[in-house]
Amino acid sequence: MSEPVKSLPSPTSSGGQPAGSDTYKGWLYKWTNYLKGYQRRWFVLSNGLLSYYRTQAEMAHTCRGTITLATAHIEVGDTCHLVLTSGGRNYHLKATSDGESQRWVSALQQAKANTTHMMHQSDDSGDEAPVPQPDRALTQGALKTLASKLDDLSTCNELIGKHGTALQRSLSELEDLRTATDGTDKLKTVNERATLFRITSNAMINACRDFLDVAETHSRRWQRALQYEREQRHHLEETIEQLAKQHNSLERAWREAPSTHPDGGERRRAGDASDENEDTEFFDAVEDSPAFITVTATDHTQHRRSASNQSIMSGRLPNNEWSHDEKDAGSDNMQLRRVRRSRIPDKPNYSLNLWSIMKNCIGKELSKIPMPVNFNEPLSMLQRLTEDLEYSDLLDRAARCESSLEQMCLVAAFSVSSYSTTIHRTAKPFNPLLGETYELDRLDDFGYRSICEQVSHHPPAAAHHVTSQRGWTLWQEITIDSKFRGKYISVMPLGCIHLQFHSSGNHYVWGKVTSTVHNIIVGKLWIDQSGDIEIVNHRTKDTCHLKFVPYSYFSRDLPRKVTGVVADSEGTAHHILSGTWDEKMESAKIVESSRGCGGSEGKQKTVYQTLQPKLLWKKYPLPENAENMHFFSSLALTLNEPEEGVAPTDSRLRPDQRLMEAGLWDEANAHKQRLEERQRLERRKREAQATQALEEDSLGQDFEGFQPLWFERRTDDSTGESTYVYRGGYWEAKDGQDWSQCPDIF
């Protein structure tokens, strides 16, 4: 056991605060198992919950366990020991000194007493439970207003009583003086009405007094009930978040543990070495299982076929490796490459309630919901589209493949890699203005040039064209269809991505899957990708079907799992793809297939026998301090870096986006509102011009409306679909610095 370190508890709030609000922190030793004995853990006591972590740094992402003190039993042992019993489980803890142990025991007992008092306080008690200051002020203000109104009514009642008595006395005297029958009847009627008026006034006063009594009687009960529900909700949110962190930690530990033995011996030993493995639970999957089963071929079978199957990718190296020849060839050019930035200003810690803005926008398109920059990231949608090129080296390798099926594997890995940057990126990119462009010139670094343009605003659509000197061209038109569903946001990219290799003429076409951002109402935002992608080679008719498995808490599959099958034109499967969209993809060549036993619902599954899987793609690690820089990748950090000579419509020149990146969010919001209002005015002008053209010419043939500057609509020869393609001229205009055609949109 390591040398004891004196704990440094730090109470962060004093007495008199709401029950469970005190925070107490420090080191304690926790019994783990007989192999490791007591291990030092960082304990945090807050809101009636005792949580523990391996280190203080883990507080930001991984909680090892939580004990609810409201139902826990605290027992003080000998020699600085204490035992907490909760939920049928004992937690043996040990402090470094008697004084330290006493301080922890006092803090735990006080927290337990406060929590128990809050949960079990009698509804008939006259003592008010503490409530937050704004709620207390609101309630007391309402009671003071009622009391003031009651005083006014009482004063009015006294005046009415006095005037009524005087009126009756005067009328009685008048009645005695006059003897006319008609006059007497009238006086009696007036007297009766005055009496009724006084009785009614008294009844109103009594009703108001009863209402005030009821309000005072129930006010404390309502306050206690509200506070209890607030505390319960807070505890539930914390528990769910901690469970999610523990679940994520267990998943990563399971994936990273070695599993070289077929019986999983090493993985089990790795699990035994953990001191938290007693908390692990397993659940049966509830979703549909795959339609095929993969079995890795034995060494004997693999050796027998090794002559014709040396490598799945024709001996190509993975995307994150270099050959010695490539290193030597590139060594002379490395000095000439531009050094690009590797960080941006840290994201400010501004808090804003997303639900307060979006609760009235359920069912609307996301692009039509006005939002402050607090929910954006300092990149436009055009730049996010360009970010798909992060792993363009996969296409460079694919261009060198002689086999179209192996080429298909790399194209499939490229289509999956474009989602790897989204795992932590729940913020919304800026909606590009109509006519906004973005260029990315990486000829010197990676051999390609990219140009994007916003060709439509409603619905938002962007056209993209990339030409590479390494043997391929990519183009796409993507329209974003997004809906806010209350608990989550769905983003559905519509359109096709085209990829053509120059030497072979292979033309691949595929689409994108649905992205879903969860926990809009409560909890931590997280993103998931789900759906199917069908990649088709229109020259050879080869296909690849990729399935992005939606996340399920009860599934035993890896989170963010992706599976796929590569087949030829006759439907014969040749490769199995597997991996996750946030980490890596692998490919295994099929050596034999057969029909297996019946699965669920009587369906037979195909059993594929494969060679050992080969790595196709692996995600690059995030830059240092990425969590404070919007979780940007190395490429994303450079996308908004200022460039000389770009078009005046380039996203880098957008003022609100630039101010947000610099941390000036208030100024960015002001510029964002100005640009959006200007765009609305321009749209109304175009609509007015269109209306005028229709009035002057019934066919409206002379009015074309908005036309993109660098893209034009054509019919694709392979698919027969109409799409925006690059018409040319941008790079020539940049070389000559002739931007006279560009509109002033910023």
pLDDT digits (tens, 9 = 90+) for 236-250: 877 777 777 777 677
In our burial notation (b when 16+ CB lie closer than 10 A, e otherwise), range 407-435 reads: bbbbbbbbbbbbbbbbbbbbbbbbbbbbb
Say whether pLDDT at 378 is over 70: yes
% of the chain surpassing 70 pLDDT = 70
How many Cα atoms within 13 Å fall on the side-chain side of residue 27? 15
Rg (CA), the chain: 36
- Distance, in Å, from the CA atom of 685 to the CA atom of 166, rounded to the nearest integer, reads 75
Of 694, 651, 696, which Cα lies nearest the Cα of 675? 651
Q: Does domain 354-685 have CATH number 3.90.550.10?
A: no
- Sign of the C-alpha dihedral computed for residues 470, 497, 410 and 386 taken in this order: positive
Say whether pLDDT at 331 is over 70: no
**For the segment 482-537, what is each residue's pLDDT rounded down to a tens digit?**
777 767 888 889 999 999 999 999 999 999 999 998 887 777 888 999 999 999 99
Quote the pLDDT of residue 308.
38
**Neighbouring residues of 414: CB distance < 8 A, sequence distance ≥ 6:** 391, 392, 394, 395, 398, 617
- Distance, in Å, from the CA atom of 37 to the CA atom of 29, rounded to the nearest integer, reads 9
**For the segment 526-552, what is each residue's pLDDT rounded down to a tens digit?**
899 999 999 999 999 999 999 999 988
Q: Which residue has the tokens 């999957």?
A: 285
Q: Name the helix (H) or strand (E) containing 467.
A: strand 461-468
Reading the block at residue 714, the tokens are: 């054509």
Residues 616, 413 contacting (CB under 8 angstroms)? yes
Quote the pLDDT of residue 149.
67
How far, CA to CA in Å, does 477 sit from each of 140, 490, 658, 704, 722? 60, 19, 26, 20, 10
Say whether pLDDT at 653 is over 70: yes
Residues 499, 508 contacting (CB under 8 angstroms)? yes
- Distance, in Å, from the CA atom of 65 to the CA atom of 53, rounded to the nearest integer, reads 7
Say whether pLDDT at 417 is over 70: yes
Say whether pLDDT at 261 is over 60: no
**For the segment 593-648, what is each residue's pLDDT rounded down to a tens digit?**
877 655 555 566 788 888 999 999 999 999 999 999 999 999 999 999 999 999 99
Say whether pLDDT at 190 is over 70: yes
- Distance, in Å, from the CA atom of 239 to the CA atom of 235, rounded to the nearest integer, reads 6
- Distance, in Å, from the CA atom of 87 to the CA atom of 89, rounded to the nearest integer, reads 5
Of 503, 534, 540, which Cα lies nearest the Cα of 395? 503
Q: At what angle do helices 133-177 and 181-256 cross, to 10 degrees?
A: 170
Say whether pLDDT at 441 is over 70: yes
Q: What's the whole-model pTM score? A: 0.58
For residue 204, how far is the Cα from the chain centroid? 56
Quote the pLDDT of residue 291.
62
Residues 617, 413 contacting (CB under 8 angstroms)? yes
Quote the pLDDT of residue 123.
41
Quote the pLDDT of residue 678.
87
- Distance, in Å, from the CA atom of 226 to the CA atom of 220, rounded to the nearest integer, reads 10
- Distance, in Å, from the CA atom of 375 to the CA atom of 363, rounded to the nearest integer, reads 19
| Dihedral of the alpha carbons of 566, 569, 572, 577, in degrees to the nearest 10 | 0
Q: What does DSSP say about strands 604-610 and 584-598: parallel, antiparallel, or unpaired?
A: antiparallel
Quote the pLDDT of residue 680.
85
For residue 211, how far is the Cα from the chain centroid? 47
Helix, strand, coil shares of the chain, percent, nearest 5, are 40, 25, 35
679-682 long-range contacts, CB within 8 A, separation 24+: 679/433, 679/434, 679/457, 679/745, 682/434
- Distance, in Å, from the CA atom of 502 to the CA atom of 400, rounded to the nearest integer, reads 11
Q: Name the helix (H) or strand (E) containing 161.
A: helix 133-177
- Distance, in Å, from the CA atom of 699 to the CA atom of 216, rounded to the nearest integer, reads 73
Q: Which residue has the tokens 């363009």?
A: 392
**Neighbouring residues of 415: CB distance < 8 A, sequence distance ≥ 6:** 497, 510, 533, 535, 546
Say whether pLDDT at 120 is over 70: no
Of 99, 83, 94, which Cα lies nearest the Cα of 28? 94
Asked which of 102-111, 391-400, 500-509 is least confident by mean pLDDT, the reply is 102-111
Class of CATH domain 23-96: mainly beta
